[in-house]
Amino acid sequence: MRIFSGIQPTGRKHLGNYVGAITQYVAGQDRGEAIYCVVDLHAITVAHDPAGLRTAVYDTAALLLAAGLDPRRCIFFRQSDVPEHPELCWLLSSVTSFGDLNRMHQFKEKSAAQRELVSAGLFTYPVLMAADVLAHRADEVPVGDDQRQHVELMRDIAQRFNARFGEVLVVPEVRIPQVGARIMDLQSPQRKMSTTAESPQGVIYLTEEPDEIQRKVRAAVTDSGREVRRAPDKPGVSNLIEILAAVRGTEPEQIEREFDGAGYGAFKQAVADALVEHLAPLRERYGALRADEAALERTLALGAERARESAARTLADVREAIGVGPVRPRG
């Protein structure tokens, strides 16, 4: 089993990122050969500050390592250090449908937010994402539910390539957590938790101070009732149940049974306490790791060496199949 996923170095990482993706990265190290990268090339598809991007790469790398990624048990690297990824992206664009890209939900959302320029890179973003995964012949892609469409597209690209040029690429499967696949904003529970939220009051950041986590959870939107149960008309309470279940590693039904008749006050306090306790070790490790940028750079560089070895094999096979570059000698 070969597992691949990437994470953007943009914005402060929050509970939704953690439950939907980062915890899966860590668990993947025990399930197979895990390959993860900080996708800085994706980050430049929208307006950005160059110095800020470099800082964010280190922030993200330190956070993933603090969460439990171990470079001795996985390949962990910076995307731009492996040129095979963008080259494969260009080659795969020849078997990617314009119509498919035009239907991508994330492109529509992000392009609508761009005031000056909607870049071609933003439009072809899913092809680079496909190249990231297909370059390493990954069997599985752990992502949050919002990335399901992107994985479906990369599967289509791999299948179309194989149908035209032979069985060269592995068609990956998506892996989405059963609990906490979509952590919602505490103040607007109809919308997923996001770094681009209108207000930070509904977002739990992973390195946030305990007092701030407590305050945000106590102020979370619920409803006029008192029952701690999931229901379509109780999106705020349903979200808090999902959060507590994800943090405890249990089922939402167990949370509902435990707090049956307890009321919202006791329930919210339990959610806040569980989050503070769960995130405390990550916050402490992050501070120590982030302080040593030289060590982070060494970790990313060593990971890139291993990633290039993996991606180079796939790229050579793709180039030969598609008919570009010199013919490889047979031996």
Q: Encode pLDDT of 30-86 as tens digits.
A: 999 999 999 999 999 988 999 999 999 999 999 999 999 999 999 999 999 999 999
Q: What is the percentage of the chain residues whose pLDDT exceeds 70?
A: 98
Contacts of 206 (CB under 8 A, 6+ apart): 12, 13, 14, 15, 17, 18, 63, 67, 279, 282, 283, 286
Neighbours of 261 (CB within 10 A): 8
pLDDT of residue 299: 98
pLDDT of residue 327: 81
Give CA angle at 272 (267, 278), nearest 5°.
Answer: 125
The mean pLDDT of 292-310, rounded to a whole number, is: 98
The mean pLDDT of 8-34, rounded to a whole number, is: 90
Neighbours of 164 (CB within 10 A): 12
pLDDT of residue 204: 96
Q: What is the percentage of the chain residues whose pLDDT exceeds 90?
A: 76
Q: Residue 141: enclosing H or E segment and its boundaries?
A: strand 140-142
Give, in order, the Cα–Cα distances in Å from 244 to each of 148, 183, 236, 240. 24, 11, 13, 6
Residue pair 16/192 in contact by the 8 Å Cβ criterion: yes
Give the model's confidence band at 164: pLDDT under 50 very low, under 70 low, under 90 confident, else very high.
very high
The mean pLDDT of 141-170, rounded to a whole number, is: 92
More confident of the two residues 176 and 247: 247
Give, in order, the Cα–Cα distances in Å from 239 to each of 55, 119, 138, 182, 186. 32, 35, 32, 9, 8
Give the model's confidence band at 199: pLDDT under 50 very low, under 70 low, under 90 confident, else very high.
confident
CATH superfamily assigned to domain 200-288: Tyrosyl-Transfer RNA Synthetase (1.10.240.10)
Residue pair 311/88 in contact by the 8 Å Cβ criterion: yes
Q: How far is CA 37 from the centre of its chain?
A: 10
The mean pLDDT of 304-324, rounded to a whole number, is: 97
Beta bridge partners of 135: none
Neighbours of 276 (CB within 10 A): 18
The mean pLDDT of 279-296, rounded to a whole number, is: 97
- Residue in 278, 275, 259 with CA at minimum distance from that of residue 267: 259
Structural domain boundaries of the chain?
Answer: 2-180+292-322, 200-288
pLDDT of residue 66: 97
Q: What is the rounded CA–CA span in Å between residue 206 and residue 213?
A: 9
The mean pLDDT of 283-301, rounded to a whole number, is: 97
Order of strands across the sheet with 2-7? 74-78, 33-38, 2-7, 140-142, 173-175
Find the range with the poorest average confidence among 72-76, 112-116, 316-320: 112-116
> Does residue 224 surpass a pLDDT of 90?
no
Q: What is the rounded CA–CA span in Å between residue 223 and residue 240?
A: 12
The mean pLDDT of 210-221, rounded to a whole number, is: 96
Find the range with the poorest average confidence among 174-188, 202-216, 314-328: 174-188
pLDDT of residue 331: 57
pLDDT of residue 181: 67
Residue pair 74/27 in contact by the 8 Å Cβ criterion: no
The mean pLDDT of 309-319, rounded to a whole number, is: 97
Q: What is the rounded CA–CA span in Å between residue 18 and residue 27?
A: 12
Q: What are phi and psi of 175, to 5 degrees?
A: -130, 115
Tokens standing for residue 135: 């370059």
> Which amino acid makes up residue 1?
M
> Which amino acid makes up residue 50?
P
Identical topology for domains 2-180+292-322 and 200-288:
no
CATH superfamily assigned to domain 2-180+292-322: HUPs (3.40.50.620)
pLDDT digits (tens, 9 = 90+) for 234-261: 999 999 999 999 999 899 999 999 999 8
Q: Rounded mean pLDDT of the chain?
A: 93
